[in-house]
Amino acid sequence: MSHDDLIARRRVLGGAATALGALGLSSWAQAQGASPAALPPAKPLPAYAAWKNPAALVVHSGTTIETRRSAFGSSVITPAQQLYIRNNLPAPDASILDKRDEWTLEVSGVKQPRSLSLAELKTLGLETVATVLQCSGNGRGFFPSKPSGTPWTVGAAGCVLWSGVPVRTVVAALGGLAEGAVFLTGTGGEKLPEGVDPLSVVVERSVPIKALEDCLLAWEMNGEPLSLAHGGPLRLIVPGYQGVNNIKYIKRLSFDASESKAKIMAHGYRMTPPGAQTSPDQASVWEMNVKSWINGPAADAGPVKAGRVQIHGVAFAGTKAIERVEVSVDGGDSWHTARLVGPDLGRFAWRQFALSVQLPAGTYQLASRAVDTAGNVQPADRVENAHGYNNNSWRDHAVKLVVA
């Protein structure tokens, strides 16, 4: 469905039906015999994301929107209309997309540092990669400690296709790396509020230089010019790394001996022990860990019929491929190896998995546990940390299924 079709459909549906759909409460309301007007209205989509499908999303705020677990489907790629959004600063004005090809990127820390227009970048190279884009706070909603920040469950993630030029190709075109480059740093193109220290607000992240091999400067997502919501006209993609490292509307790329001094790098997105202060010596949220969860049968769709049930979900492991996924219907007491469903879009994409089981009437606790090609096993428990990052606990991601 095109963006225009979606907008048209939303108009036809009107406020109440759309709001109910967005809350996932239509069937609940019917079952209760409640009038739609009695339910709280869903938060509307912000203007820059008005083209998204509200029924597939939970709008936490104008800058934090997640995909419903039941909306992930089972065909690997997450459509743009239902992909999550996370903005640390207000999104830039849509006018930055008016002349996409005139967007400039300043590159430093190379032998011949200079600015390149998007038009020139497009002449240098072209590659397409499928990656999991996931906010490091995905799963924060399962922390009993209720860390501050958006209580995402599983929907601050998606698997998308990016097209652009490899960063290593750009570096080669600029004479190669300068001496002493240890980190790759990307800077977002947001207009910063006046009167504050830019380092306290700028979205600027550094990743270890080894990521250079896989990084892409992308201008297209899922076959469409990159939207403003997802970082158009140009975005840094760091395959296998947590979302925050994938800098939207990138305007500066540098290769340096040390990490950025920006607050979001030095103090934000660190694995801070519970109760401690953030500090640059704590681990940064970089490579994603091995993780999986079940998307269907969707717990929010009500009871399923007794008999054969197809359990399915997604699994990924940052820069590593998935080796195996196991599924439990008894809360982790026993496990069955699931089938990995194609297509395999490479080690940075997620794999669909499926397990067909006979389930008599009853209540089941469905869980999934992934193993990557390096032998890392998705753990039962989360690593406790002050801000609720990196939750890959299979127990936290288990879902209750009622079979009738």
Ligand X SMILES: Nc1nc2c(c(=O)[nH]1)N[C@H]1C(S)=C(S)[C@@H](COP(=O)(O)O)O[C@H]1N2
Which residue ranges make up the site for Mo ion (CB under 5 A)?
Answer: 86, 135, 243-244
> CB-wise, 203 or 228, nearer to Mo ion?
203
The answer to the question of residue 347 lying near ligand X (CB under 6 A) is no
Cα of 138 vs its chain's centroid, Å: 8
> CB-wise, 135 or 229, nearer to Mo ion?
135
What is the C-alpha separation between 234 and 186, in angstroms, rounded? 11
What is the C-alpha separation between 212 and 170, in angstroms, rounded? 11
Phi/psi at 364 (nearest 5 deg)?
Answer: -120, 150
The answer to the question of residue 58 lying near ligand X (CB under 6 A) is no
DSSP, residue by residue, 24-89: T-HHHHHHHT--GGGSPPPPPPPGGGTTS-GGGEEEEETTEEEE-GGGS-SSSPPPGGG--EE-SS
What is the C-alpha separation between 300 and 401, in angstroms, rounded? 9
The answer to the question of residue 350 lying near ligand X (CB under 6 A) is no
Shortest CB 125 distance to ligand X, Å: 22
What is the C-alpha separation between 65 and 155, in angstroms, rounded? 8
Stretches 11-19, 99-107, 113-121, 242-250: which one binds ligand X (CB under 6 A)?
242-250
The answer to the question of residue 243 lying near ligand X (CB under 6 A) is yes
CA neighbor of 349 nearest in space, from 51, 65, 76:
76
CA neighbor of 363 nearest in space, from 294, 292, 306:
306
Stretches 53-61, 99-107, 121-129, 245-253: which one binds ligand X (CB under 6 A)?
245-253
End-to-end CA distance of the chain: 35
Shortest CB 188 distance to ligand X, Å: 2
What is the C-alpha separation between 288 and 286, in angstroms, rounded? 6
Identify residues 206-235 at the interface with ligand X (CB under 6 A).
Answer: 230-231
- From 249, 316, 353, 389, residue interacting with ligand X (rule: CB under 6 A): 249
- From 129, 133, 265, 386, residue interacting with ligand X (rule: CB under 6 A): 133
Cα of 204 vs its chain's centroid, Å: 18
What would the 3-class secondary structure string for 127-165 be?
EEEEEEEECCCCCHHHCCCCCCCCCCCCCCEEEEEEEEE
Binding mask 364-403 for ligand X (x = CB under 6 A): ----------------------------------------
- From 184, 203, 359, 401, residue interacting with ligand X (rule: CB under 6 A): 203
Shortest CB 224 distance to ligand X, Å: 13
If DSSP codes are grouped into helix, strand and coil, which group holds residue 300? helix
- From 87, 150, 163, 391, residue interacting with ligand X (rule: CB under 6 A): 87
Shortest CB 362 distance to ligand X, Å: 38
Phi/psi at 264 (nearest 5 deg)?
Answer: -65, -20
> CB-wise, 244 or 370, nearer to Mo ion?
244
Identify residues 4-43 at the interface with ligand X (CB under 6 A).
Answer: none
> CB-wise, 86 or 252, nearer to Mo ion?
86
Query: Are 344 and 351 in contact, with CB atoms under 8 Å apart?
Result: yes
* Radius of gyration from C-alpha coordinates of the chain: 22
The answer to the question of residue 96 lying near ligand X (CB under 6 A) is no
- From 26, 70, 74, 88, residue interacting with ligand X (rule: CB under 6 A): 88
> CB-wise, 135 or 173, nearer to Mo ion?
135
Binding mask 139-178 for ligand X (x = CB under 6 A): ----------------------------------------
Indicate which of Mo ion, ligand X, none lies near residue 24 (CB less than 5 to 8 Å, by partner kind): none
What is the binding site for ligand X (CB under 6 A)?
A: 83-89, 133, 135, 188, 190, 203, 230-231, 243-244, 246-249
